[in-house]
Structures are given as structure tokens and as C-alpha cells.
């Protein structure tokens, strides 16, 4: 097998070839490529699915080059040495908003940043010393004591994009700590058993947040909803709402929702969006389809963000209602939308959420289920680039840490509907492996 193994030179050639293809595409499509300068574009615009795929193959080749350049043991040593400090530095800078402490078109002294963040200057200097090695900020005069701090494109992206900042907070600050105790949770609750415990009181999250220094929260949603006191109460939920809005933007999910059903043909109908967050999908739906009347249901801390963002001219058609989706559904509607909801829960809870709809369902009522498919079934042809597979595998482990849930292949959703009630008839199931999304339309029959 040794002869099939790539050498450094093979990888270098592959990287050159893929880079050239990618760059040619950017040139031909008039896409301005990012640089490390603060005024750079913060992402590649207008990437076609084909170019996205090429870029991910390039990312795979670069990772292989990184591994092989160092060799097996040093690539692990170096990774272990830096991965937690990298994540910690990013989390600290995000939490204390270093991003806005430095002007986008100028520089700031360490003392300015310390004042802005209320952190000791020594801490600021040490965090930034590591951050600048990651091209997050840079020194105006590298290595000199007179140096000030300026943005790079990577730190500027966080200053410019509230959504990216919210994503870092949710993924690192909300979900990061439980992931570091997954081994302990597995040892305590699942080791020696044939399957992972599905009990939500036996998650890594629960191990960390069941009393003690990290608070007492029933699950990750309870934490996101209730962590913080006084003005800080609800800060994680406000952040999460922004994170969801951002996901919609970067994955172009607005179109997925608008195309998920023939809303125009449906005419004057009522819709309930369960766990609809700040109503970003519902505002887009109501704007596109003037006959729709939509109730957004979510936890109480979401309400202020919803009220602040819903346009005045939509208030009569898009309203917010506090509702726990485990409780019996109080609103009779034509369509119940569940987008990115069941994905966060183990099977038992997913079934309960669907069953809680039953009191409101009448023959012909519909459930429109839209979710992320992080686990592909068996694939034909060559496997997806590893950097694409990681999008699903990483989410899968996060789901395990937070909820003892898992990424499911498309077909698993049929079983969830069936287990919830045989009166749900699935009349449509559309899965797109390139967008990673599945749409299921189920009709209630009696």
C-alpha cells in the first residue's frame, strides 16, 4: 500500500492544481479574493456548489500537508499543545469583545484595549500575543514595545459580523465546556453498556451544569434561556437568536423555507412555527406570501428580540407566543413548521414534541419538518471531502455532549413520525445531499 500514499511533493502538486482552478474560477466570476488585510472581504461571495467542493478538496490536501510536514507524533503534539489555547483565546476575545476595542481603519494600544474590555493589561497582552500567531489581530510594529494592535481580516470579520460573533459564542462558550468532559460522562453513564444512554440527565452538559460552579440547568436550552442575572439574563438566548439568523444567511436557508411548500397555492392559511426563534423565517415567509398568518412559538427570552425585529407592517400577521413545545399545542393551525428542532433531541423527546401537537390537529393539518441531515447514509462513488464530512461529524459529537442526541440519516425521521403516531402520513420527503437539508410534509389523517 505504501506506493499509494501521497508524498509531500504529491500534495504540493495537488494543492497547486486545486488553487489554480479555484483562483481561475474567482477571476472569471469577478469574485474578490480575501486577503489578511483588515479591509479584505470577509468571505468568498458567489461560490458555486462545484467551487465549494473544489475548495474543500483543497482544504483536505492542505490538512494532509500539515500532518505530513510535521510527521505523526509531532502533528499530534502540536495540535494538543495549541488547540485549547487557540479556542480559549478566541473565546476570551469574543466574550470581552476585543473586536470593537480596535478601530477597523486604525489601531489601539494595549492600554486602550484593557480599558475597553475591563481586563488587566497583562492579560490583554498575553491573550493577544497568542491571538496574533493565529492571524487574529496583528502588531503594527511586530516585536517592538511601541507596537499597537490593528485588525487583520480574521479579527475584522468578527468586528463586522454580529452573526459570526454569536456563532463563536454559542459554539465555544455555550457548547465548548461540556465537550471537554465527554469522556467523564461516557465513563459514568455509558461505559460497559451496549449503547449511549439516551437519558438527558446523563449528558456531558448535565455533568457540568448540575449544581456547582457552572450552575444548575436541566439542559442546554434551560442554560441558554436562564443563565445570567439582571441585565445579563437572556444574553445567551439573544445571542442564539442572532446565531440562527446568521446560519440562515450563510446557508441560504431563506430559499429553502420559501421553497419548502407551495405557500402561494395554499392561500389564506395559518402557520405555527415551533421553536421559531426570533421569527426570521416567519418574517421572510410573511413578506413573500401576504395570505399567511403566522404564530412564532418559542421560550420567553426570545420575545424581546422578536418584538424588536418584526416589521410594523407585519405585526397583524406575525405574532409571538411563549410556548413550551413539550406541552399540549394550544393553537389550531393549518401547518406546524418544525425547522432545526428535533435534530437537538434524542428519539424519545422528538416523539414527545410531535405528540404534543395532537390536541390541536384536525384531519388535513400538516407538519412541515425541515432539518439538517448531518449523517449521510451509505454513499455511492467517492466519499465527500473529509472537511465536508466534518461538518456533520462535529455537530454529531456536539449533539452527543449536549443532549445525548445524534445526527440522523434521512430515513430515521420516518421512524420518529411513525413512533409519534400512525395518523401522521408522510406525503413528501425531499432530501438534498448538497444542501444537507431534508423537508418532510406529514398530513394528519383520522
Note whether 380 and 311 are within 8 A (CB): no
357 belongs to the binding site for ligand SAM (CB under 6 A): no
Note whether 241 and 278 are within 8 A (CB): yes
372 belongs to the binding site for ligand SAM (CB under 6 A): no
Q: How far is the CB of 279 from ligand SAM (least distance, A)?
A: 9
Q: How far is the CB of 197 from ligand SAM (least distance, A)?
A: 20
Q: How far is the CB of 219 from ligand SAM (least distance, A)?
A: 8
Note whether 273 and 325 are within 8 A (CB): no
169 belongs to the binding site for ligand SAM (CB under 6 A): no
Rounded to 10 degrees, what is the CA torsion of 279, 280, 283, 288? -140
Stretch that binds ligand SAM, among 108-116, 149-157, 160-168, 336-344 (CB under 6 A): 336-344
326 belongs to the binding site for ligand SAM (CB under 6 A): yes
The whole-angstrom separation of Cα 218 and Cα 209 is 8
345 belongs to the binding site for ligand SAM (CB under 6 A): no
What is the SS3 assignment for 111-170? HHHHHHHCCCHHHHHHHHHHHHHHCCCEECCCCCCCCCEECEHHHHHHHHCHHHHHHHHH
Site string for ligand SAM, 211-230 (x = CB under 6 A): ----------x---------
Q: Which residue is nearest to ligand SAM (CB)?
A: 275
Pick from 164, 95, 91, 177: nearest CA to 402: 177
Stretch that binds ligand SAM, among 102-110, 270-278, 377-385, 416-424 (CB under 6 A): 270-278
Q: What are phi and psi of 269, to 5 degrees?
A: -130, 165
Residue in 176, 276, 346, 374 binding ligand SAM, rule: CB under 6 A: 276
Q: How far is the CB of 344 from ligand SAM (least distance, A)?
A: 6
- The DSSP bridge partners found for residue 111 are none
Note whether 158 and 176 are within 8 A (CB): no
438 belongs to the binding site for ligand SAM (CB under 6 A): no
Stretch that binds ligand SAM, among 226-234, 339-347, 395-403, 414-422 (CB under 6 A): 339-347
CB atoms within 10 A of CB 308: 9
Residue in 90, 92, 159, 299 binding ligand SAM, rule: CB under 6 A: 299
Residue in 272, 341, 402, 439 binding ligand SAM, rule: CB under 6 A: 341
The whole-angstrom separation of Cα 412 and Cα 349 is 14
Q: Please state whether beta strands 270-274 and 293-298 pair in parallel, antiparallel, or not at all (unpaired).
A: parallel
At 95, which helix (H) or strand (E)? helix 72-95
Site string for ligand SAM, 231-250 (x = CB under 6 A): -------------x------
325 belongs to the binding site for ligand SAM (CB under 6 A): yes
Residue in 181, 256, 340, 412 binding ligand SAM, rule: CB under 6 A: 340
Report the half-sphere exposure of 418 (CA within 13 A, side-chain side): 5
Note whether 249 and 433 are within 8 A (CB): no
Residue in 227, 298, 407, 441 binding ligand SAM, rule: CB under 6 A: 298
CB atoms within 10 A of CB 61: 23
Residue whose CB is less far from ligand SAM, 179 or 299: 299
Stretch that binds ligand SAM, among 99-107, 295-303, 372-380, 421-429 (CB under 6 A): 295-303
408 belongs to the binding site for ligand SAM (CB under 6 A): no
Residue whose CB is less far from ligand SAM, 122 or 249: 249
Residue whose CB is less far from ligand SAM, 159 or 296: 296
Residues 375-404 that bind ligand SAM (CB under 6 A): none
Q: How far is the CB of 198 from ligand SAM (least distance, A)?
A: 17
Stretch that binds ligand SAM, among 51-59, 284-292, 334-342, 422-430 (CB under 6 A): 334-342
Residue whose CB is less far from ligand SAM, 339 or 406: 339
The whole-angstrom separation of Cα 371 and Cα 116 is 40
Rounded to 10 degrees, what is the CA torsion of 39, 43, 47, 51? 100
- The Cα-based distances of 56 to 7, 18, 19, 199, 395 in angstroms read 20, 10, 11, 36, 18
Count helices and strands in the chain by DSSP H and E runs: 19, 9
What's CA 152's distance to the chain center, in Å? 24
Chain residues in the site for ligand SAM (CB under 6 A): 221, 244, 275-277, 298-299, 302, 324-326, 339-341, 344
Amino acid at each position: 500500500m505504501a506506493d499509494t500514499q501521497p508524498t509531500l511533493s504529491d500534495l504540493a502538486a495537488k494543492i497547486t492544481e486545486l488553487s489554480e482552478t479555484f483562483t481561475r474560477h474567482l477571476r472569471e466570476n469577478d469574485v474578490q479574493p480575501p486577503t489578511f488585510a483588515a479591509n479584505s472581504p470577509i468571505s468568498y461571495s458567489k461560490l458555486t456548489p462545484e467551487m465549494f467542493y473544489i475548495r474543500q478538496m483543497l482544504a483536505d490536501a492542505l490538512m494532509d500537508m500539515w500532518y505530513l510536514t510535521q510527521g505523526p507524533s509531532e502533528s499530534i503534539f502540536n495540535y494538543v499543545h495549541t488547540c485549547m489555547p487557540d479556542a480559549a483565546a478566541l473565546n476570551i476575545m469574543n466574550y470581552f469583545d476585543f473586536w470593537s476595542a480596535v478601530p477597523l481603519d486604525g489601531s489601539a494600544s494595549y492600554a486602550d484595549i484593557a480599558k475597553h474590555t475591563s481586563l488587566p493589561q497583562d492579560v490583554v497582552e498575553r491573550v493577544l500575543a497568542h491571538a496574533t500567531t493565529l492571524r487574529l489581530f496583528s502588531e503594527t510594529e511586530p516585536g517592538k514595545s511601541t507596537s499597537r494592535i490593528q485588525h487583520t481580516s480574521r479579527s475584522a470579520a468578527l468586528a463586522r459580523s454580529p452573526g459570526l460573533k454569536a456563532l463563536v459564542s454559542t459554539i465555544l462558550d455555550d457548547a465548548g465546556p461540556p465537550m471537554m468532559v465527554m469522556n467523564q460522562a461516557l465513563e459514568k453513564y455509558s461505559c460497559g453498556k451496549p449503547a449511549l444512554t439516551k437519558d438527558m440527565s446523563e449528558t456531558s452538559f448535565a455533568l457540568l451544569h448540575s449544581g456547582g460552579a457552572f450552575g444548575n440547568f436541566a439542559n442546554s436550552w434551560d442554560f441558554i434561556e436562564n443563565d445570567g442575572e439582571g441585565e445579563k439574563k437572556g444574553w445567551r438566548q439573544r445571542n442564539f437568536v442572532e446565531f440562527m439568523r446568521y446560519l440562515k444567511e450563510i446557508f441560504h436557508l431563506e430559499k429553502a423555507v420559501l421553497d419548502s411548500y407551495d405557500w402561494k397555492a395554499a392561500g389564506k392559511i395559518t402557520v405555527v412555527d415551533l421553536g421559531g426563534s426570533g421569527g426570521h423565517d416567519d418574517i421572510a415567509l410573511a413578506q413573500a406570501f401576504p395570505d399567511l398568518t403566522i404564530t412564532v412559538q418559542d421560550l420567553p427570552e426570545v420575545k424581546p428580540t422578536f418584538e424588536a425585529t418584526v416589521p410594523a407592517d407585519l405585526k397583524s400577521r406575525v405574532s409571538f407566543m411563549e410556548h413550551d413545545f413539550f406541552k399540549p399545542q394550544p393553537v389550531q393551525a393549518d401547518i406546524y413548521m418544525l425547522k432545526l428542532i428535533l435534530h437537538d433531541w434524542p428519539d424519545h423527546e422528538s416523539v414527545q414534541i410531535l405528540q404534543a401537537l395532537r390536541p390541536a390537529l384536525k384531519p388535513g393539518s400538516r407538519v412541515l419538518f425541515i432539518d439538517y441531515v448531518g449523517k449521510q447514509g451509505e454513499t455511492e462513488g467517492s466519499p465527500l471531502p473529509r472537511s465536508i464530512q466534518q461538518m456533520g461529524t462535529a455537530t454529531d459529537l456536539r449533539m452527543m455532549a449536549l443532549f445525548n442526541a445524534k445526527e440522523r440519516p434521512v430515513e430515521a425521521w420516518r421512524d420518529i413520525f411513525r413512533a409519534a403516531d400512525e395518523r401522521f402520513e408522510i406525503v413528501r420527503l425531499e432530501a438534498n445531499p448538497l444542501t444537507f437539508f431534508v423537508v418532510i410534509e406529514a398530513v394528519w389523517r383520522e
